[in-house]
């Protein structure tokens, strides 16, 4: 090797091996191979240029030059992919899309770096999304998708939950735009028929394995049938429901379209229909609402009643007899508490022995209260409007309480009444301006229900329904005519 070239490369250090020391794991010699190839190319190239071009060996030198260039090209192919970013003009990723899932310990920055994206883009993207979602909060298992255009990052999509995604897109060379987009599900209508063997839950699970369907069906009939005490072996049901298929392939139960439940020989119909106020509700064949103005209890599932309404009850802490003008529901700390009906928050804060306490005024006649809470729903304060079934707080043991439970009270004309005995008013019936449309829809649903499994039920199971029947006009537009 010529001395001037030799001086360009440092000589390898001599390493004394300790035979007692553990052997280090060998690294893959990809970079070393590339460096070696480059060195060979430089040597040949230099030797070629050091020869006299007019000498008889000119042909040899030209061949040497070609060989040197070829070796350098080979070295370039070996190490350039290791040093260049994954997405660039040489990577041919124009129009490319890539996806990744959040792993334990990940941040938005680590996800970007792992996908070969310049971390310098992170502040700009986060600032664009800050008003609608904080990208500092990424959840394990949620999906990121990156879109590239002209070798540059052009869009970031983050799956917030099953129904929503954050979409941040590049509008021009410097500005980004962020928005929340709803997940587009494929929706199919399914039909199910069955005969109760022990409980609604077990029957539905045996037929289709969808616990969510059993829950939603019990919610629709919450005021017509007590599924804890009134259901009987041999009762039958038919239901039309939506199956929602996520773009990723996961399936879940959508809304109940219509159903009929035969309990103790009596048919209870539930026809889904959008009323004049724009609210989707369930009605019987006469157009009366299945919903009541209030829920049966302020819980999604009926918990154990640990203490009932009484004019004289021995207080476990005060050790005296005093009235207990409400119901105590025993439930674990943190169990969501639901607003019994639509209304406005009249009180939200600590209230003596009730601890953390909420009072909701529903109208000029009815008020409900919720005591011993561990906390309140986010954003809840005096004056907040709440809807029936909305989470307003969480079970706790604040105030004078021996354990976690909810003290629930119901007031009529400002006087406490027994929540289990009060006559609850029904919800609004089908608006008279829409009843003709409801009649058409009702007959349509009744025919489709009858077609499921025949009549009587002889083929229980899930089927896909035909949807080619004429559709009912949009109730909202009809009401405005």
Q: Whole-angstrom Cα distance, residue 183 to residue 165? A: 7
Task: Return the CATH fold of 304-417.
Answer: Glucose Permease (Domain IIA) (2.70.70)
Q: What residue ranges of the chain are covered by domains with CATH 2.70.70.10?
A: 304-417
> Each residue of 85-100: pLDDT tens digit?
444 444 444 467 889 9
Number of other residues whose CB lies within 10 A of the CB of residue 332: 11
Q: What are the structure tokens assigned to 432, written together?
A: 């008279």
Question: What are the start-end ranges of the E strands in 102-248?
Answer: 143-149, 152-159, 164-170, 176-182, 186-195, 236-245
Q: How confident is the model at residue 108 (pLDDT cuts 50, 70, 90)?
A: very high
Average pLDDT over residues 22-43: 46
- Going by C-alpha positions, the residue among 428, 434, 444, 443 that lies closest to residue 474 is 434
Q: Number of H helices and number of E strands within the chain?
A: 9, 23
**Average of per-residue pLDDT values in the chain:** 78
Residue 228's pLDDT is 73
3-state secondary structure 148-180: EECCEEEEEEEECCCCEEEEEEECCCCCEEEEE
> Each residue of 266-314: pLDDT tens digit?
999 999 999 988 888 999 999 999 988 888 889 987 778 888 777 666 6
Average pLDDT over residues 130-151: 90
- Distances, alpha carbon 174 to alpha carbons 117, 125, 154, in Å: 16, 10, 11
Average pLDDT over residues 223-239: 86
Q: Is the pLDDT of residue 127 over 80?
A: yes
Residue 169's pLDDT is 92
Give just the sign of the alpha carbon dihedral 271, 276, 281, 286.
negative
Mode of pairing for the β-strands spanning 336-338 and 391-395: antiparallel
Q: How confident is the model at residue 40 (pLDDT cuts 50, 70, 90)?
A: very low
Q: Whole-angstrom Cα distance, residue 366 to residue 339? A: 13
Class of domain 90-182: alpha beta
Of 259 and 56, the structure prediction assigns the larger pLDDT to 259
Average pLDDT over residues 370-385: 95
CATH code of the region 186-291+430-479: 3.10.450.350
Q: Is the pLDDT of residue 345 over 70?
A: yes
Contacts within 8 Å (CB) and 24+ apart, 131-140: 131/178, 132/166, 132/178, 132/179, 132/180, 133/158, 133/160, 133/166, 133/178, 133/180, 135/108, 135/166, 136/107, 136/108, 138/102, 138/106, 138/107, 138/108, 138/111, 139/102, 140/102, 140/103, 140/104, 140/106
Q: Is the pLDDT of residue 116 over 60?
A: yes
Lowest mean pLDDT among 62-76, 233-247, 440-454: 62-76
Q: Is the pLDDT of residue 160 over 60?
A: yes
Average pLDDT over residues 355-376: 93
Residue 461's pLDDT is 42
Q: How confident is the model at residue 156 (pLDDT cuts 50, 70, 90)?
A: very high
Contacts within 8 Å (CB) and 24+ apart, 163-171: 166/129, 166/132, 166/133, 166/135, 168/125, 168/128, 168/129
> Each residue of 186-196: pLDDT tens digit?
999 999 999 99
Q: What residue ranges of the chain are covered by domains with CATH 3.10.450.350?
A: 90-182, 186-291+430-479
Q: Whole-angstrom Cα distance, residue 223 to residue 268? A: 11
Cα dihedral 321/325/328/334 (nearest 10): -120
Residue 325 — φ and ψ, nearest 5°?
-95, 45
Q: Is the pLDDT of residue 470 over 60?
A: no
């Amino acid at each position: 090797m010529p001395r001037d070239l030799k001086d360009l490369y440092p000589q390898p250090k001599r390493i004394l091996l300790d035979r007692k020391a553990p052997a280090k794991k060998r690294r893959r010699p990809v970079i070393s191979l590339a460096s070696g190839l480059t060195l060979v190319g430089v040597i040949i190239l230099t030797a070629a240029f050091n020869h006299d071009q007019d000498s008889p060996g000119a042909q040899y030198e030209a061949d040497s030059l070609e060989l040197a260039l070829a070796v350098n090209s080979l070295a370039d192919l070996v190490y350039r992919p290791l040093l260049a970013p994954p997405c660039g003009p040489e990577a041919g990723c124009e129009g490319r899309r890539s996806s990744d899932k959040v792993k334990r310990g990940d941040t938005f920055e680590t996800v970007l770096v792992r996908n070969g994206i310049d971390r310098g883009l992170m502040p700009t993207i986060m600032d664009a999304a800050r008003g609608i979602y904080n990208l500092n909060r990424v959840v394990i298992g949620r999906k990121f998708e990156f879109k590239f255009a002209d070798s540059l990052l052009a869009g970031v999509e983050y799956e917030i939950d099953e129904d929503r995604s954050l979409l941040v897109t590049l509008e021009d060379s410097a500005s980004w735009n962020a928005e929340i987009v709803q997940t587009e599900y494929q929706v199919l209508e399914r039909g199910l028929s069955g005969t109760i063997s022990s409980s609604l839950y077990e029957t539905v699970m045996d037929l289709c394995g969808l616990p969510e369907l059993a829950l939603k069906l019990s919610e629709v009939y919450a005021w017509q049938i007590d599924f804890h005490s009134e259901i009987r072996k041999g009762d039958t049901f038919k239901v039309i429901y939506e199956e929602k298929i996520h773009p990723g392939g996961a399936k879940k139960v959508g809304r109940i379209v219509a159903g009929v439940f035969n309990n103790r020989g009596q048919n209870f119909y539930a026809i889904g229909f959008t009323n004049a106020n724009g609210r989707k509700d369930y009605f019987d064949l006469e157009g009366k609402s299945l919903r009541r103005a209030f829920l049966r209890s302020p819980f999604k599932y009926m918990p154990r009643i640990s203490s009932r309404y009484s004019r004289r009850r021995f207080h476990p802490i005060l050790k005296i007899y005093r009235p207990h003008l409400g119901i105590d529901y025993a439930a674990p700390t943190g169990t969501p508490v639901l607003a019994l009906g639509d209304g406005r928050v009249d009180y939200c804060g600590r209230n003596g022995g009730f601890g953390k306490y909420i009072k909701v005024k529903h109208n000029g006649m009815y008020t409900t209260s919720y005591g011993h809470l561990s906390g309140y729903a986010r954003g809840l304060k005096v004056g907040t409007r709440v809807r029936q079934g909305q989470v307003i707080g969480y079970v706790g043991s604040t105030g004078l309480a021996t354990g976690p439970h909810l003290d629930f009270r119901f007031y009529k004309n400002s006087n406490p009444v027994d929540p289990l005995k009060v006559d609850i008013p029904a919800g609004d019936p089908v608006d008279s301006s829409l009843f003709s449309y409801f009649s058409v829809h009702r007959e349509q649903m009744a025919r489709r229900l009858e077609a499921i499994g025949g009549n009587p039920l002889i083929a229980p199971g899930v089927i896909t329904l035909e949807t080619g029947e004429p559709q009912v006009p949009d109730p909202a537009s009809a009401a405005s005519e």
